[in-house]
Amino acid sequence: MNRQQKEALKKLLGDRVRWDVSMAEHSTFRAGGRAEALADVGDREELQALVRWLRNSGVPWRIIGRGSNILVSGQGFAGVIVRLQGELASVKQERGAGHAGAGTVPVRAGGGCSMARLLAWCTGRSLAGLEFLAGIPGSVGGGVRMNAGAWGQAMGGLLQALEVLDDRGRLFRLEAGELRFSYRRLELAGLDPDRVIIVSAWFGLRLGRQTEIVARCRDYLARRREKQPAGVGSAGSFFKNPAGDHAGRLIEAAGLKGLARGDAMVSPRHANFIVNTGRATADDIAALMVEVQERVYRDSGIRLEPEVCIF
């Protein structure tokens, strides 16, 4: 950005824009290059104004949630990283709202709302359905974008509608029938999902027993603790599972558990986790990713695709 652009952005967002920010502090990998600017946006009008300005000035941008599935390259990001806060991170029940399936309670959550907050809010009101999200450290927007899931369920399965903003700053609502979810993927009719901001999402939940909801969450959390590395930086599973197989199985079969580049390591506990055991850089993680891809390909003929979004 040139000086004029920086001044215009400062005028638009005041102290909610920060400059030259280490993305290691905003990524669960605890690694990543620097972003030219990080902008926290608190309501729809501000978000629309920002996206229109970004488009008109040609400044590159990306939206992030809780940074639990991203890796910002060591070269950094020349542009603005946007995050949703305030009313765009809130959650509420929408009594009488349309489009609820029979017997379901419509809950609307802002794209910036953490899954942990949404889950706690639902549990407090005995609303069941999202327990499988327990322990996934993302946001509603990031989760919907990635169709996050676990234990055979995924977010797309409970979605009734989305409120989205396109890169021209236009807000609109998409109904469930206009959304295509598949494994860790969302397709929006005629729109590039990387150029769209998920502003809020409506979920159809059902009334349940609070004790049972709590028990299910605890069970899922315990299962995670058993399987996943703890106390290290990571972005969860690094690679997508190829059709009919598991990335972790292929990595383990290629003998790569414990393989390291700097402080980036293929977790000895869960082969599909690349972990940051200390001071790994984004370049260490990227180099390890490429090595794992090459060696798994040599071993099995299968090319692993990263699930982590690299920018």
Positions that interact with ligand FAD (CB under 6 A)? 28, 62-70, 84, 111, 136-139, 141-143, 145-146, 148-150, 197-198, 234-236, 309
Q: Are strands 179-182 and 77-84 parallel, antiparallel or unpaired?
A: unpaired
Nearer to ligand FAD, 26 or 96 (CB): 26
- For residue 82, which amino acid is it? V
CA angle 215, 28, 192 (to 5 degrees): 95
Strands 34-41 and 17-22: what pairing?
Answer: antiparallel
Q: Is 87 a catalytic residue?
A: no
Shortest distance (Å) from residue 181 CB to ligand FAD? 12
- Give the H/E segment covering residue 246: none
In the complex, the smallest distance separating the C-beta of residue 212 from ligand FAD, rounded to whole angstroms, is: 21
Residue 52 or 298: the one with the smaller Cβ distance to ligand FAD is: 52
Is 298 annotated in the active site?
no
CA 90-94-96 angle, to 5 degrees, is: 170
66 catalytic, yes or no? Answer: no
Torsion, CA 260, CA 265, CA 268, CA 272, rounded to 10:
-120
The whole-angstrom separation of Cα 192 and Cα 194 is: 5
- The SS3 assignment for 292 reads helix
- Asked if 246 and 267 count as a contact pair (C-beta separation under 8 A), the reply is no
3-state SS class at 64: coil
Closest CB to ligand FAD among residues 209, 225:
225
**In the complex, least distance from residue 62 CB atom to ligand FAD, rounded to whole angstroms:** 5
> Strand pairing partners for 105?
205
CA distance 106 to 204: 5
What DSSP character marks residue 233?
B
Kindly tell me which of 106 and 138 has the beta carbon lying closer to ligand FAD. Answer: 138
In angstroms, what is the minimal distance from the CB of 4 to ligand FAD?
27
Rounded Cα distance between 51 and 170, Å, is 9
Closer Cβ to ligand FAD, 150 or 287, answer by number:
150
Q: Please check whether residue 279 is in contact with residue 262, taking contact to mean a CB–CB distance below 8 angstroms.
A: yes
Q: Which of 68, 237, 261, 267 is catalytic?
A: 237
The least CB distance from residue 176 to ligand FAD, in Å, is: 17
State the Cα–Cα distance between residues 167 and 180, nearest whole angstrom: 20
Cβ 144 vs Cβ 156: under 8 Å: yes
Q: How far is the CB of 103 from ligand FAD (least distance, A)?
A: 27
Q: Which is nearer to ligand FAD, 146 or 254 (CB)?
A: 146
Catalytic residue among 184, 223, 224, 295: 184
Q: How far apart are CA 167 and CA 170, in angstroms?
A: 7
Q: Which is nearer to ligand FAD, 179 or 197 (CB)?
A: 197
Q: Which residues are catalytic, by number?
A: 184, 237, 307
